[in-house]
Amino acid sequence: MKKCAMISLMFLSILSIAGCGKDTNTVTVVEGASKTTLLNPLVLQQFANPLPIIPVAAPDTTTVPGSDYYTVVVEQTSNFDFGLRKSDGSEFINPATGAPIRTTVWGYTTNGIKAGYLGATIEATSTLAGESGKPVVVKYTNNLKDANGQLLAKHLLTVDHTLGGAGSTVPEVRIVTHLHGGHVEPQSDGHPDAWITNDPSALTGLPADATSGRPARPNGNTVTYNYDNSQIANQLWYHDHAMGITRLNVYAGLAGNYLLRDSVENALNLPKGAYEIPLVIQDKSFNEDGSLHYDSNALLKPDGTQQTINGKPVYTSNPEFFGNVITVNGKAWPKLDVEPRKYRFRMLNGSDSRFYNMWLERSDGLPIPSGAITQIGNDGGLLPTAVNNIGDGANNGLLLGLAERADVVIDFSKFPAGTSITVRNDAHTPYPNGSDVNPSTTGRVMQFKITKTLAGTDTSAVPANPRVLQSYPAPDNTRYVDLQETEENNALVFDPYSGAIARRLMILLNGLPFDAPITENITLNNTEDWIIINNTVDMHPMHVHLVHFEVVEKGSIAPGAYTPANGLGGMPTVTAGGLRPSTLPNGTAAPFDSPYRVQPHELGHKDTVRVPPADEIIGSQGYVRIRATYDRIGTYMWHCHILAHEDHEMMRPFRVQ
């Protein structure tokens, strides 16, 4: 994110900081109307919490004949244990209660399985021709209540009512669930304005709106979605998508895995059962009482006075959030004891803004053996060619942007018994040109320990060519879209980490707010190339609903060849020859591992793509060309999956007609 110059104002003294540095120090910040002290991550124990194994929910096969039926209930849990222990293993005590610290979170209860935080995994099977799967029907219920059984009226975290869709007249406690990567009808896609409240008697419903494409918003606190599973095997995930508070709802715990199987995957003899393990990777920060911390700072007027709505002060989040504790499956820096055999890990970056560039590091300092780690799939499913040895060292990391998934097999039989293997991370924050991570905290993810005895012969295999993928036909149309970053003149934010007061950033697609008239109108069954131009200095993981796409090329744009979208509906343009595939902003050829070149693990189909950044000094933009066929009528979303960006309206609808 571009660093704005500090604005020197006399009222700076009304706010204070006790330290700075996102990953290292204890910081006192303004959150809501009070000061809160962060729990220092440097004093936390690591690699002692057993990795939680996310349960799989059993389907109800009778309620909806011919379909697997699930009830997914959103609930609050007041005593969730993230495993926050002192370095000696002892408990932190909440001075207000005298009890060990625990955290209030939100989570999904899926067919009766209450995980507290996150949700149980839904498993389904493809219904494409030749497959034996069934559709899935899910009834979502918003049952967010306090410990006394009373309906929650306030969000768990601070809501910024100045963000689009989150106005003061809209209920704070609202949800709408999106099946990320799902090939679904628009009424089941989780439109961000088709939310439900937690009040069964609520009359907040609205009929469908043909102009915006929003499907009908139901009254009450339930909605039922249909997922027909008409796609190949994949690791999907379901998460909240409510307008203006997606970042808060997901951070509070509203995410879960949805694993789709098919006959091609089943025939590969991959590790399965106890040896196939989803890993949901997220960064968090905690207050000293164990509560979740999400930065929320005073929103100021140009004269330095507090902005208010209905007489109440407004607090806003930064356009990016980086926690200082890494959690996996809801535990801080966990460990997994493994057998000397192959394991399949279904990895998901479920964080708000943090990229992860991960690799394995042995406790004995020796190199990772060749063939010990192989990526066989990404967020579009199995790859056409497996990527060998990715993540075997700091110079060959596995990069995961927000919402991206990686299907990875690690063969622990290639290591001596007793070896500890740490998953490391060195992705800058923001990525790729931001600050270094702290190697003692956010530079670590989890640890594997080869301590178990082999339970039986490992007959599983790692395929060299996991799946033959059908390429899309030549495009019927090519459209240019862009990512822009500007500033609001009338909104100032105090950043306690830097001590700066800066104009709030506007991060938009085509220079347009979310509710501007739709500019991406697509003819049904057309194949389109989208050239997504990044005019910011950060990498953005762009997600397109409905489709999986091919990443055709990446590169940079020649200085002076790009004219941005005008914010009035006029699209960006690039002069002939301005696109330079596989080229760095300085005009030289991009090396094989460059973000300006399509990587081997991006050669399969995808639903989220990392768009390389601009170079402001040279005046060159990064771009990516993606190709997909749009085969369902309706209105869907495309957006940045940095969740704070999405809530700052880096999201737009597109229409298939």
- 35 found inside a domain: no
- 567 found inside a domain: yes
pLDDT at 347 over 90: yes
- Residue 1, pLDDT score: 52
- Parallel/antiparallel/unpaired status of strands 136-142 and 177-180: unpaired
pLDDT at 493 over 80: yes
Residue 5 burial (C-beta neighbours within 10 Å; 0-12, 13-18, 19+)? exposed
- Residue 500, pLDDT score: 80
Using an 8 Å Cβ cutoff, are 110 and 60 in contact?
A: no
At 284, the pLDDT band (50, 70, 90 cuts) reads very high
- Parallel/antiparallel/unpaired status of strands 521-522 and 292-293: unpaired
- Residue 13, pLDDT score: 34
For residues 383-412, give the mean pLDDT.
Answer: 97
For residues 399-425, give the mean pLDDT.
Answer: 98
For residues 328-334, give the mean pLDDT.
Answer: 98
Of 545, 534, 550, 511, the residue nearest 614 (C-alpha): 534
- 71 found inside a domain: no
pLDDT at 434 over 90: yes
Q: Name residues whose C-beta falls within 8 Å of residue 234's C-beta, 6 or more positions apart in sequence.
A: 181, 260, 377, 379, 380, 381
- Residue 363, pLDDT score: 95
- 199 found inside a domain: no
For residues 71-88, give the mean pLDDT.
Answer: 97
pLDDT at 11 over 60: no
For residues 462-466, give the mean pLDDT.
Answer: 98
Note the pLDDT tens digit of each residue in 526-540.
Answer: 999 999 999 999 999
For residues 106-126, give the mean pLDDT.
Answer: 97
- 237 found inside a domain: no
Position with higher pLDDT, 24 vs 404: 404
Using an 8 Å Cβ cutoff, are 578 and 570 in contact?
A: no
* Phi, psi dihedrals of residue 644, rounded to the nearest 5°: -65, -35
Using an 8 Å Cβ cutoff, are 327 and 282 in contact?
A: yes
The H or E element spanning position 316 is strand 315-316
- Parallel/antiparallel/unpaired status of strands 622-629 and 527-534: antiparallel
Note the pLDDT tens digit of each residue in 25-57.
Answer: 333 334 443 345 899 999 999 999 999 999 999
The one-letter code for the residue type at 547 is V
In the block, tokens 């009830």 appear at 71
- Residue 25, pLDDT score: 34
Angle, CA of 291, 295 and 298, to the nearest 5°? 120
For residues 412-437, give the mean pLDDT.
Answer: 97
- Residue 494, pLDDT score: 80
- Average pLDDT, rounded, for the chain: 93
Of 319, 247, 296, 307, the residue nearest 486 (C-alpha): 319
For residues 342-353, give the mean pLDDT.
Answer: 98
- 509 found inside a domain: yes
Q: How far apart are CA 628 and CA 293, in angstroms?
A: 39
266-271 long-range Cβ contacts below 8 angstroms, 24+ apart: 268/382, 268/461, 268/463, 268/466, 269/459, 269/460, 269/461, 270/344, 270/376, 270/409, 270/460, 270/461, 270/462, 270/463, 271/341, 271/342, 271/343, 271/344, 271/409, 271/458, 271/460
Task: Say which DSSP state 644 is in.
Answer: H
For residues 440-447, give the mean pLDDT.
Answer: 98
Note the pLDDT tens digit of each residue in 228-248.
Answer: 999 999 999 999 999 999 999
Maximum separation of any 2 CA atoms in the chain, in Å:
71
pLDDT at 300 over 50: yes
**What DSSP string runs through 202-231?**
----B---TTT-PPPBPSTTEEEEEE---S
The one-letter code for the residue type at 640 is C
- Residue 18, pLDDT score: 27
pLDDT at 20 over 80: no
Give the domain CATH number at 637.
Answer: 2.60.40.420
Question: Any bridge partners for residue 526, and if so which?
Answer: none
* Phi, psi dihedrals of residue 186, rounded to the nearest 5°: -60, -35
- 628 found inside a domain: yes
Q: What percent of the chain has pLDDT over 70?
A: 94
Question: Any bridge partners for residue 421, and if so which?
Answer: 362, 448
- 568 found inside a domain: yes
- Residue 33, pLDDT score: 31
Where in the sequence is the domain holding 498, given as residue range(s)? 477-656
- Residue 226, pLDDT score: 98
Q: How far apart are CA 330 and CA 287, in angstroms?
A: 16
Query: How many domains would you assign to the chain?
Result: 1
